[in-house]
Structure 1
């Protein structure tokens, strides 16, 4: 299994953080994971909920100050 890539989405607002997250998922195989670094707050809910609705498996792995890491396992 390869190392999990970290994608920094903190420079993007809505809806770009979600669009960039979807692009990152296109570059990994089904059942592989990517970590998404997002700004704590609404961005976490927006990215987490949108990717979950897309059928991806999401989990918050850390929340430190201004940033939160969401681990996404590609399911489709």
Structure 2
């Protein structure tokens, strides 16, 4: 049951990260209507922070699942 749950969570997280990437890329294209410096600053600042927070969240989530 546990391995099946982990595989389903992995597939859901894969789809979620794919849709989140599409959403972030659309947001990033909207920021291009601003000045180039602001859009570059947002792109360089927001994307790594989002990726790092999602990565840390999944590490914490799988650690919590492994405890259960």
TM superposition score normalised by structure 1: 0.31
Q: Which structure shows the higher strand fraction?
A: 1
Q: Which structure shows the higher helix fraction?
A: 2
Higher Cα radius of gyration? 2
TM superposition score normalised by structure 2: 0.34
Does 1 or 2 have the higher relative contact order (CA < 8 Å, sep 6+)? 1
